[in-house]
Amino acid sequence: MLSDETVAVIGAGNIGRALIGGMISSELIDAEHVIATRRTASALDEMAEEFPGLRTTTDNVAAVQDASLILLTIKPQSRAEVITNIRDHVGRDVLVISVLAGITTERLQLGFGQDQPVIRAMPNTPALVDAGATALSAGTYATDEHLENAQSIFEAVGDAVVVPEEHMDAVTGLSGSGPAYVYMFIEALTDAGVKQGMSRTDASKLAAQTVYGAAKLAIDTGKHPAILRDEVTTPGGTAIAAVSSLEEHGLRTMLINAVGTATQRSEALNEE
Ligand SMILES: NC(=O)c1ccc[n+]([C@@H]2O[C@H](COP(=O)([O-])OP(=O)(O)OC[C@H]3O[C@@H](n4cnc5c(N)ncnc54)[C@H](OP(=O)(O)O)[C@@H]3O)[C@@H](O)[C@H]2O)c1
Task: Note the pLDDT tens digit of each residue in 154-200.
Answer: 999 999 999 999 999 999 999 999 999 999 999 999 999 999 999 99
pLDDT of the residue at 178: 97
**Which tens digit of pLDDT belongs to each residue from 72-126?**
999 988 999 999 999 999 999 999 999 999 899 999 999 998 799 999 999 999 9
Ligand 1 centroid – CA 208 distance (Å): 27
In terms of domains, do 157 and 238 share one? no
Q: Atom of ligand 1 at shortest distance to CA of 43?
A: 40
Ligand 1 centroid – CA 77 distance (Å): 9
In terms of domains, do 204 and 156 share one? no
In terms of domains, do 263 and 140 share one? no
CB 251 within 8 A of CB 58: no
Atom 42, ligand 1: residue with shortest CA distance: 13
51: containing domain: 7-164
Q: Could you tell me what percent of the chain has a pLDDT over 70?
A: 100
pLDDT of the residue at 3: 80
Please, which residues have CB within 8 angstroms of residue 213's CB and are 6 or more apart in sequence? none
Which domain CATH number covers 249?
Answer: 1.10.3730.10
Give all strands (DSSP E) within the chain, no chain letters: 7-10, 34-37, 55-57, 69-72, 95-98, 118-122, 132-138, 158-162
Q: Which residues line ligand 1 (CB under 6 A)?
A: 10-11, 13-16, 37-40, 43, 60, 73-76, 78, 82, 99-101, 122-125, 176
In terms of domains, do 182 and 264 share one? yes
pLDDT of the residue at 113: 85
pLDDT of the residue at 79: 93
Please, which residues have CB within 8 angstroms of residue 10's CB and are 6 or more apart in sequence? 16, 37, 60, 63, 64, 70, 71, 72, 73, 74, 82, 86
The reply to whether 123 falls in a domain is yes
Please, which residues have CB within 8 angstroms of residue 22's CB and are 6 or more apart in sequence? 28, 127, 130, 153, 156, 157
Atom 20, ligand 1: residue with shortest CA distance: 13
In terms of domains, do 17 and 119 share one? yes
Task: Read off the pLDDT band of 224 (50, 70, 90).
Answer: very high
pLDDT of the residue at 4: 86
Ligand 1 centroid – CA 1 distance (Å): 26
The reply to whether 57 falls in a domain is yes
User: What predicted TM-score, i.e. pTM, was given to this entire model?
Assistant: 0.93
Number of domains the chain contains: 2
- Cβ-in-10-Å burial (0-12, 13-18, 19+) of 203 comes to buried
In terms of domains, do 205 and 255 share one? yes
The mean pLDDT value of the chain amounts to 96
Q: Which of 138, 164, 190 is the last residue of a domain?
A: 164
> Which residue type does 103 have?
I
